[in-house]
């Protein structure tokens, strides 16, 4: 059964949260796909993962970089692209995924203060529930801890 997690970025921004979650995924030996809603955002993600911290590196690439099947973290805007055979997929900012098949974990990162992002998350929640996925909702507390809300 696919586990689908929804992370509401209430007290932190995507550029703070995503690299930390990707570090945890890589440390567990997981290949990951990160899906944005358009190519410009993929370019932004690429820059972020190179510069988010001086003392760390997250191995990643996109179609532009080549060697897609060898990238531990693959960045894309395509809803069906998974060239590194990832079992974990991060969906950011309302991007939509066609199918949960083949994934162990899907992580939706969204800002509940932005109406479009919230509506996309709600639609994805409904889709995941209908697909009989194990669905959870997480929210950051003011102290920085993730707390399960549903």
| Closest C-alpha among 54, 125, 130, 52 to residue 94 | 125
**Cα(30)–Cα(82) distance, integer angstroms:** 13
Mean pLDDT, residues 30-47: 95
Query: Per-residue pLDDT for 56 more than 90?
Result: no
Average per-residue pLDDT for the chain? 93
What are the tens digits of pLDDT across the range 109-131?
Answer: 999 889 998 999 999 999 999 99
Number of domain units in the chain: 1
For 115, the domain range is 3-148
What are the tens digits of pLDDT across the range 66-113?
Answer: 899 999 999 999 999 999 999 999 999 889 898 899 999 999 999 988
The set of residues, in sequence order, having a beta carbon less than 8 Å from that of 119 and lying 6+ positions away, is 94
Q: What CATH number is associated with residue 143?
A: 3.40.50.10110
Describe the crossing of helices 14-27 and 39-51 by its angle, rounded to 10 degrees: 70
Q: pLDDT confidence of 42, banded at 50, 70, 90?
A: very high
pLDDT value of position 44: 95
């Amino acid at each position: 059964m696919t586990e689908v997690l929804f992370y509401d970025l209430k007290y932190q921004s995507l550029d703070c949260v995503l690299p930390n979650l990707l570090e945890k995924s890589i440390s567990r030996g997981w290949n990951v796909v990160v899906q944005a809603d358009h190519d410009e955002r993929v370019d932004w993600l690429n820059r972020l993962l190179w510069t988010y911290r001086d003392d760390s590196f997250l191995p990643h690439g996109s179609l532009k970089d080549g060697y897609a099947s060898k990238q531990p973290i693959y960045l894309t805007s395509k809803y069906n692209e998974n060239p590194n055979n990832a079992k974990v997929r991060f969906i950011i900012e309302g991007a939509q995924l066609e199918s949960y098949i083949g994934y162990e974990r899907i992580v939706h990162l969204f800002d509940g203060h932005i109406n479009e992002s919230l509506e996309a998350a709600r639609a994805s929640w409904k889709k995941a529930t209908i697909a009989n996925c194990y669905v959870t909702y997480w929210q950051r507390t003011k102290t920085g801890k993730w707390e399960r809300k549903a």
